[in-house]
Chain A
Amino acid sequence: MKILRNLSKDRLAAASFILIVVTIVAGILAPYIAPHDPNEVNMRLRFAAPSWEYLLGNDHLGRCILSRLIYGIRPSVLWVLGALFISVLIGAIAGFIAGYFRGKVDFFMMRICDIMLSFPGYVMTLAVVGILGIGLKNILIAFILMKWAWFARVIRTAVMQYVELDYVKFSKVTGMSDIQIIWKHIVPVTLSDIAVVSSGSMGSMILQISGFSFLGLGIQAPNAEWGMMLNEARQVMFSRPELMLAPGLAIIIVVSAFNFLSDALQVALDPKLIRSTNKFQKQEVETEIRGGKIHEYTRS
Chain B
Amino acid sequence: MLKVDCVEKSYKKGGLFSREKQKILKNVSFECRRGECLGIIGESGSGKSTLGRLILGIEKPDRGTVLFEGKNIQDRKVRVGNISAVFQDYISSINPFFTVEEAIMEPLKGQKEIQSKIDHLLNQVGLDPSYRKKYPHELSGGEAQRVCIARAISTEPKCILLDEATSSLDVSVQTQVLDLLKKLKKSYNMSYIFITHDIQAAAYICDRVIFFRNGQIEEIVKTEHLKDVQSEYARKLLQMIITF
Contact = CB atoms under 8 A, between A and B. Distances in A.
A300 interface: no
Given A175-B79, A185-B95, A188-B97, A170 B137 contact: no
A141 to B, nearest CB: 33
A173 B198 CA distance: 24
Given A170-B87, A272-B137, A175 B94 contact: no
B85 A169 contact: yes
Interface string B71-95: 0000011011101110101001111
A100 to B, nearest CB: 13
Nearest to A269: B97
Interface residues of A, number: 19
B85 A271 contact: no
Interface in A237-254: none
A6 B216 CA distance: 53
A296 interface: no
A207 B30 CA distance: 64
B95 A174 contact: no
Interface string A141-184: 00000000000000000000000011101111111010000001
Nearest to A174: B107
A57 to B, nearest CB: 51
A107 B89 contact: no
B135 A275 contact: yes
A167 B80 contact: no
B151 interface: yes
B95 A169 contact: no
A165 B92 contact: yes
Interface residues of B, number: 30
Contacts of B135: 271-272, 275
B81 to A, nearest CB: 8
Interface in B94-108: 94-97, 103, 106-107
Nearest to B16: A107
Interface string A181-198: 000110011000000000
A195 to B, nearest CB: 14
Nearest to A189: B97
B96 A189 contact: yes
A272 to B, nearest CB: 5
A175 B80 contact: yes
Contact of A174 (B80, B87, B89, B138): B80
Contact of A175 (B16, B77, B137): B77
Contacts of B103: 167
A170 B155 contact: no
Contacts of A107: 16
A174 B155 contact: yes
B56 interface: yes
Interface string A89-106: 000000000000000000
A246 to B, nearest CB: 43
Interface string B172-212: 00000000000000000000000000000000000000000
A173 B79 contact: yes
Nearest to B97: A188
Nearest to B83: A173
Given A171-B106, A175-B77, A166 B97 contact: no
B58 interface: yes
B57 interface: yes
B87 A166 contact: yes
Interface of A: 107, 165-167, 169-175, 177, 184-185, 188-189, 271-272, 275
7 contacts: A166-B92, A169-B56, A171-B107, A173-B85, A175-B77, A271-B97, A275-B137
Given A166-B89, A275-B137, 19 more contacts: A166-B87, A166-B93, A169-B53, A169-B58, A169-B85, A169-B87, A170-B84, A170-B85, A170-B87, A170-B151, A171-B106, A172-B56, A173-B58, A173-B79, A173-B83, A174-B80, A175-B79, A189-B97, A275-B135
